[in-house]
Structure 1
Amino acid sequence: MSAPTTTRRSTDTPRPPSHTPAPHRSAARSRASRWTTRGAVHGVLLLVALYSLLPLVWLLTSATKSVGDFSATSAFEFADFNLWHNLRDLFAREDGVFWHWIGNSLLYAGLGAVVGALICTACGYAVAKLEFPGRRALFAVTLTGVLVPPTALALPLYLLASHLHLVNTFWAVFLPLLTNPFGVYLARTFADASVPDEVLEAARLDGAGELRIFLTIALPMMMPGFVTILLFQFVAIWNNFFLPLVMLTDPELFPMTLGIYQWSTRAPQFPDYNPLVITGSLLAVVPLVTAFVVLQRQWRSGLSAGSVK
């Protein structure tokens, strides 16, 4: 006898044919979206770069022009390269007063940036790591100083300097530039993130004083924040204009910003001041670019300095 044969009905449902696999379509769509995003970002970066660099290019081309070349050439066209003649005239005008302006700006900005950054770093470290009554209230009051525009403080500072007989002196400009509420806020943030409490406690157990702990332990750990505050201080003091305008009347105490401004007010009546103003403005940009190029290497150099081992 032969065994009965049974037929098995298939229960599988047929699938509809797919002409284009879904993964290929999603990958193509993601690649197109990625290139579109990159193009938009690169376009924005190009516009920002042009917006930042075109004034510098205009300064460079205009510094090579004489008085007559301003009307005979276009904005971004080099002239007969009178830059050296403009530089000689710049440093010789009014018995070389521009040398005094350069020295004053370097003194205000250089010394003020170092001392101001050190004060801000110490204040931020104290608020972050030291326990004393009213610490949070003091920090809150300090933060409110960020909201106050510097121009609103010019008249009170002038009255205070007048009471102390400091008007038209170096100290009338230098001392107010040493305070920076935003620098204190940055220093507090860096101290919280980079200075471990265990290291401070170990140093105190070894008998180290608070000043020594700050200078030898906390400050090296906070070096990226210190350099950042230093750059902010340097740029702010170098570009400071309104405070010297209020405080100073002696041209030999002027910074470069105020001196160049005074020459620019004479340019409508005396056109020979135009090349001097433009050449002086070009020289005023050089220390800022140099400071960023030199100090930006220090931003990351202290990230692991003094770490816990």
Structure 2
Amino acid sequence: MTTTTPTSATPRADAPSRPRTRLTGSRRNRLDRRSTPLTIAMLAALAYFLVPLLWLVVSSTKSTQDLINTFGLWFSHAPQLLGNIHDTLTQDNGVFVQWLLNTVMYAGVSAVGAAFLAAAAGYGFAKYRFRGHGAAFGLVVGTIMVPATALAIPTYLLFAQVHLVDTPWAVILPSLINPFGLYLMRIYTQDAVPDSLIEAARIDGAGEARIFFTIALRLLGPGLVTVLLFTLVSTWNNYFLPLIMLNNPRLYPVTVGLSSWAAQAQNGGAGSSSTMLPLVVTGSLLSIIPLVVAFLLLQRYWQSGLATGAVKQ
């Protein structure tokens, strides 16, 4: 009886070897030349967004005289950021704090409500078919092209009829409608919520409402955060709608309140200008800090693939 011992496999001489790709000097130079315009464009875009922010930070440390007489992108000899912040927060019995709280309420309630409504409507358009489905969705997409300023006056007239003018609801209710958010959630729902998962839940006896609240909403997390952030920024920066809806200064958001301070600085004479101008600049800096914090806290939710493995094959 003879035994054979396994031998180590040796590569065949005629087997094709895997080509090794190496960048030659000329090819590397061509790639560098192609990337140079892209790098310049990226740096230009970065400067476009960061230079105004740098100016705002630097100007918040200056007095009125320094704002006029010193270079805008460099600090003065006597920075007074803490003094400007104190004056901004205590001006007119702390009305800026009230404006900031109003803005947080308007933007927060509007963002959460708009995200939920967009998710519900987007889920309905993506997973159900009904008479007039295409026409209804086309109408929603068409409303994206209508500018919000064109709807401000009709909205004011409607709210005046139901006595909601000069109330917080006059700012919150119009902000709950987000056609672009609905369109985004409809597109996102088509891939994020598998039809097989819905059918499996129906077979297990789950109702449509339970499927949406317990399954679909969890899978739509990244899309919800996206719509929430878009609505948050849009409502936070909204100026024209609260300007025509609100008459009570205690109900103003930050945008309208700072605009009133800027008007005082321009029309109130030399003494008022020297007092109000640094407050407008410092208030503008303070008003963007909550938005930066919101993006830093919510950016980790911008992820996909939550439905992977949800259905067994």
**Normalising by the residue count of structure 1, what TM-score does the alignment of the two structures yield?**
0.89
- 1:275–1:234: structure 2 CA closer, same or farther, 3 Å change rule? same
- Give SS of 1:168's match: coil
Structure 2 counterparts to residues 66-105 of structure 1, below 5 A = 66-79=63-76, 80-105=78-103
Give the distance between the partners of 2:37 and 2:198, measured in 1 at CA. Answer: 48
Structure 1 residue 153 displacement after superposition: 0.2
The answer to whether structure 1 residue 229 and structure 2 residue 232 are counterparts is no
Give the distance between the partners of 2:217 and 2:173, measured in 1 at CA. Answer: 23
Name the counterpart of 2:7: none
Structure 1 residue 301 displacement after superposition: 5.8
Structure 2 counterparts to residues 149-298 of structure 1, below 5 A = 149-268=147-266, 269=268, 270-271=272-273, 272-298=275-301
Give the distance between the partners of 1:293 and 1:37, measured in 2 at CA. Answer: 33
Cα shift readout 1:123-176 (whole Å, capped 9, x = no counterpart):
000100023222221111111110000000001100100001001011111100
Structure 1 residue 116 displacement after superposition: 0.8
- Give SS of 1:98's match: helix
Give, as a single letter, the amino acid of the residue that structure 2 aligns with 1:38: S
Structure 1 residue 30 displacement after superposition: 2.6
Cα shift readout 1:202-233 (whole Å, capped 9, x = no counterpart):
11222212121111111111111111111111
Q: How many residues align?
A: 285
Equivalent pairs: percent with the same residue? 46
Structure 2 counterparts to residues 128-147 of structure 1, below 5 A = 128-147=126-145
Give, as a single letter, the amino acid of the residue that structure 1 aligns with 2:43: L
The answer as to whether partners of 1:220 and 1:306 remain within 8 angstroms in 2 is: no
Name the counterpart of 1:55: 52
The answer as to whether partners of 2:192 and 2:305 remain within 8 angstroms in 1 is: no
Question: Quick one: which of 24, 30, 39 aligns to 2:27?
Answer: 30
Structure 1 unpaired stretches of 5+: 1-25
Give, as a single letter, the amino acid of the residue that structure 2 aligns with 1:191: T
Give, as a single letter, the amino acid of the residue that structure 2 aligns with 1:143: V
The answer as to whether partners of 1:118 and 1:226 remain within 8 angstroms in 2 is: yes
**Normalising by the residue count of structure 2, what TM-score does the alignment of the two structures yield?**
0.87
The answer as to whether partners of 2:193 and 2:307 remain within 8 angstroms in 1 is: no
Give the distance between the partners of 2:308 and 2:256, measured in 1 at CA. Answer: 40
- Give SS of 1:179's match: coil
Structure 1 residue 71 displacement after superposition: 2.4
Give the distance between the partners of 1:217 and 1:238, measured in 2 at CA. Answer: 31
The answer to whether structure 1 residue 299 and structure 2 residue 296 are counterparts is no
Give the distance between the partners of 2:68 and 2:230, measured in 1 at CA. Answer: 38
Give the distance between the partners of 2:218 and 2:176, measured in 1 at CA. Answer: 21
- Give SS of 1:296's match: helix
Cα shift readout 1:95-134 (whole Å, capped 9, x = no counterpart):
1111110111000111210111011011000100023222
Cα shift readout 1:70-113 (whole Å, capped 9, x = no counterpart):
12311012122211111111111111111110111000111210
Higher Cα radius of gyration? 1
Structure 1 segments, 4+ long, off by >6 Å, are none
Structure 1 residue 299 displacement after superposition: 0.6
Give the distance between the partners of 2:242 and 2:276, measured in 1 at CA. Answer: 21
The answer as to whether partners of 1:221 and 1:305 remain within 8 angstroms in 2 is: no
Structure 1 residue 59 displacement after superposition: 0.5
Structure 2 unpaired stretches of 5+: 1-22
Name the counterpart of 2:19: none
Give, as a single letter, the amino acid of the residue that structure 2 aligns with 1:124: G
